[in-house]
Every structure is written in C-alpha cells, then in structure tokens.
Amino acid sequence: MKGYVFHAPGQSTWQELPDPAIEDPTDVIVRVDAVTICGTDLHILKGDVPEVRPGTVLGHEAVGEIVETGTDVRTVRPGDRVLVSCISACGRCGYCREGMYGQCRGGGGWILGHLIDGTQAEYVRVPHADLSVHPLPGTVANEDAVLLADIFPTAYEVGVLNGRVRPGDTVVVVGAGPVGLAAIATARLFGPERVVAVDRAASRLQAAKEFGAEAVADAGEDPEQLIADLTGGLGADVVIEAVGLPETFELCTRVVRPGGHLANVGVHGASATLHLEDLWIRNVTITTGLVDTHSTPTLLRMAAAGRLPTRQFVTHTFPLDHMQEAYDVFGNAAETGALKVVLGVPQHEVVPVHPTV
C-alpha cells in the first residue's frame, strides 16, 4: 500500500509501504476511503511534536471499510463502513471508565499518526477497535463523517461543553480556523444570545459569519472594546481559545466576565502569562483539555439528521494519492482559502434523510 510518512522536520513523502496486519486480537484493519489533514499534522511536520518517530504514517481522522478484524473484536465486522476516531480507547482503564478516553492509560488516547501509524494511507490498523471506530449510518456521506473524527468533537467537548455555554450567553470564539468555526456552529446549538468571533484574517471572519457568528472583531483592531460594548462592560460569559498563542490566551482572560468560563482548545507551543494578579478575585474558571470523543455518537446522530454544517468545511477534495498537493493547499490556507481538505471520498449511495415517497 501507499502512505504519507514523516521522516524528519520538513521531510515527508507519499510512498510504498508494507500493508498493515492485525497485531493484537482487538485490532481491525480499515481500508481508508476518506481522510483529512489536521493543523496538528502541520505541527508534526514542523518538528513541534517530538514523540512522532521518523517512519510514522501521519493522520488521525478517516472514514473507511473494515477489511479484517482480530478475534476479540465484537462490535464491527468486515464490510462495515466506519468512522476512525482521532482517539482510541482501551475501555478498561480508570479514565476510559469515566469516558475520558483522551487520557487512556491502556494503550489508547491519541495514538494514530502520533505513536503508531495513522490514517493518511490506503489502509490503517486501528487498535482497541470496539471503542475506537464508530459504525456509520448510511445517511452520512464520507466527506461529512470525516469531520466528526476530530474537529467537531474537539470544538464541542473542549470548547462548548467545557465552557458550559448556556442559553442567553455571550460566547466569544478567539480564532476562526476550522476548530473555531466548529465551536461557533456547536455553541449555537445552546441558544446563546450572540456569538462573537475574533480573528486577524478578513476571510476567516467572513467564514465565521457564515457559520453563525452575529458579530466579528478584527484581532488587530480593538476586540476588547467591542466585547465590552456588547456586554455592558462586563465581558463574555464564555470565551473559547482556538488559536494556541500566548497573546490570544491572554486576550481571552481579559474579555471573560467575572464568574465566566474560559475554555482553552488551542495547541500551545510556548508559555503564556497567567495574570493571577487580575484574575484571582474574578471567579473565572479556566479549562484545558484534549478531546475525549465521548460525544461522537451524539454528533453522528446530529449529522445524520442534517443538524451540523459539516459540508461547509470541505473547501478542497483530492484523490488519495495527491497527498502532498493537499498538504500544500492546507498548509497555505491564507492564500488558498482552505478550511478542510478531504482526500479519497469515493462515491457511495447516500440514503436521503427524508426519503421521498
């Protein structure tokens, strides 16, 4: 088979590889039909994630068909169409028992395209398959389903649920990249008074409006003043950080109201200053997190019912073997306007949500 292999920072290739094989009885082998590229993959290529060993196939999001199962796999069988989640789960450790699969101590967590070979390939071995792949309803197309492998559960769990968005809230989302946009879309499920998006790029602020933000602020112009004006000087009930830079995190701590929630989603590579001299008296809750994907079954039902704007994210599609071209387009999003690029995406018979009679 072929796969996209990380060799060293700045060096990666789509190349011939041995086919993956069942190693443990709880493994499955999935033929990859649709796969996408994550901002985290770009971090790996830059050398920001040193645990990724040279020779690892990248990718942690895919849709495909089960072609082989280990002898202990109970919930799926060959021929099943499945979503491969970015998080694997042993199902037995203390964290898995609490649904905190991202922190799995039994060989799961974020392993695909990180600690073991990932999904940017023609075939992928998925360990702990019973809790790590999700059978797909026929009503969800590949290019919609693949967005539920990572960005939707990440934005929803680590942003919206951790931030405790409630009806009537003012929600500020700092960073209108794919995860920020998914946070805007899923925050709206709770009936906030308004969602405000903050970003530097005019194209992303335009996208934020299309995904349901009522107000947008250019990060370079005074977003603090706009948020103060909208909230009677108080600040936002919930602020979601979806960038991962010290200055954006610190901005979030300045625009959250006393008693409000700041949910960090961004992947940080440098330390930010926590201004406890301002925060200690303001009853602010700050949360961090890696996605657990406990919400994936819920999100799948919503996608099947047409309640999530998944397709709006897919700006570019490529054949699977155009991986390098897809990386170039995704890595140059400011010029290409890419939100999510999806590779593969073979046609399949999509059953309409409301069949005509």
Q: Where do contacts with Zn ion occur on this chain (CB under 5 A)? A: 38, 40, 90, 93, 96, 104, 106, 108, 150
Looking at beta carbons only, is 110 or 123 nearer to Zn ion? 110
Least separation in angstroms between CB 244 and Zn ion? 12
Looking at beta carbons only, is 38 or 236 nearer to Zn ion? 38
| Contact indicator for 189, 159 with CB cutoff of 8 Å | no
Residue nearest to Zn ion (CB): 38
Give the integer Cα–Cα distance in Å for 102 and 173.
23
Looking at beta carbons only, is 150 or 237 nearer to Zn ion? 150
Least separation in angstroms between CB 237 and Zn ion? 27
Looking at beta carbons only, is 151 or 226 nearer to Zn ion? 151
Helix, strand, coil share (%) of the chain residues, nearest 5: 30, 25, 45
Quick one: angle between helices 323-331 and 39-46, nearest 10?
Answer: 100
Give the integer Cα–Cα distance in Å for 178 and 155.
9
Least separation in angstroms between CB 187 and Zn ion? 20
Least separation in angstroms between CB 96 and Zn ion? 3
Mark 38-60 as b/e (b = at least 16 C-beta within 10 Å).
Answer: bbbbeebbeeebeebeeebbbbb
Looking at beta carbons only, is 94 or 297 nearer to Zn ion? 94
Least separation in angstroms between CB 151 and Zn ion? 7
Q: What residues does 340 pair with on adjacent strands? A: 314
Least separation in angstroms between CB 331 and Zn ion? 14
Give the integer Cα–Cα distance in Å for 52 and 110.
12
Distance from chain centroid for Cα 19: 27
Looking at beta carbons only, is 90 or 255 nearer to Zn ion? 90
